[in-house]
Every structure is written in C-alpha cells, then in structure tokens.
Structure 1
C-alpha cells in the first residue's frame, strides 16, 4: 500500500482527536502509522498496476480459450 495513503489515514485519525488530547497527537499519529503498516503488511493486497496487468492477462487468456474452443468445434465438424 502507498505510504502516502497510510499517512493520510493516520492524519485523518489524528485530526479527529479532541483538542485537549492534541499534545499527544504526534506520538499518537506515529503509533497509528506503525500499527496500520503492520496490519496492512499482513493483508494479501496488490497495487492497482498489478491488478490491471493481471486483468489484461486474464482477458488475453479468455480470448485464446474462446479461439481454441472455436477451432476444436471446427475440427469436430470435419
């Protein structure tokens, strides 16, 4: 996951802290970032680019299977 997105999430959480607790915000934000990074690293996620590549590969494979099915059907007719 993009470190900038993690920082944005941590910042949003930090911004929701009441004003009386703001003096702990710096430490809290760092702790939230650390916890988020640890938990997200456990997830089985891929980048958007990796997903797009996999989708293109799947599309090409699907087209190839359809082509082979048509060729097989023609061979069975002969």
Structure 2
C-alpha cells in the first residue's frame, strides 16, 4: 500500500494547483482528494517499493538456485548415461 505521507503530498499538490478563489476550501479539498486517492489505490491492490524489491531479490535467488539444480541434474544424467553405456 502507498505511504500516507505520499498521499498527503499528492493531495497537497493537487489542492495547491487550484485557483486562488477555491483555495479557501483547501483543507476540505485536501481531505477529500486524499480520501479519493487512498480508496483508488486500495482498489488497485498496490504494493510498496520495499515489498517489490524483496520479491525481486527472492526471485533472483530462486532463479540462481534453479540454474544450480539444472546443472546438477545435467551432471547426474551424464553420469547415469555413462554408467548405462558401459
């Protein structure tokens, strides 16, 4: 989920971009924009960058382990074939 600091920042930026005549309602607008963004992000089922990076690292380790196991299987199959040919 996205950090609430980021939501506050986005809501503030949007409300700051509003015309001066509307700015007197800034707090209310920020709250409503923040609420809308938060509900939208929740529906998107987003993950944090930290969680994403953890999963990328886990996938890299899994790929490395898979490559090691594939190489090991190839060696064992080669040994089995050599033994079977004798």
User: Do Structure 1 and Structure 2 share a fold, with TM-score over 0.5?
Assistant: yes
In structure 2, distance between residues paired with 1:26 and 1:77: 72
Which of structure 1's runs of 4+ aligned residues deviate more than 2 A?
none
Q: For each residue in 1:50-77, what CA deviation from the matched residue of structure 2 results, as whole angstroms up to 9, or x when unmatched?
A: 1121111111110111011101111121
Higher Cα Rg: structure 1 or 2? 2
TM-score of the superposition, structure 2-length normalised? 0.84
Residue of structure 2 equivalent to 1:50: 51
What's the secondary structure of 1:20's corresponding residue?
A: coil
TM-score, structure 1 normalization: 0.92
Cα distance, 1:8 vs structure 2: 0.5
Count the aligned residue pairs.
78
1:22 CA drift (Å): 1.3
The aligned counterpart of 1:16 is 17
In structure 1, stretches of 5+ residues that fail to align are: none
Matches within 5 A, 1:1-78: 1-78=2-79
CA RMSD of aligned residues (A): 1.0
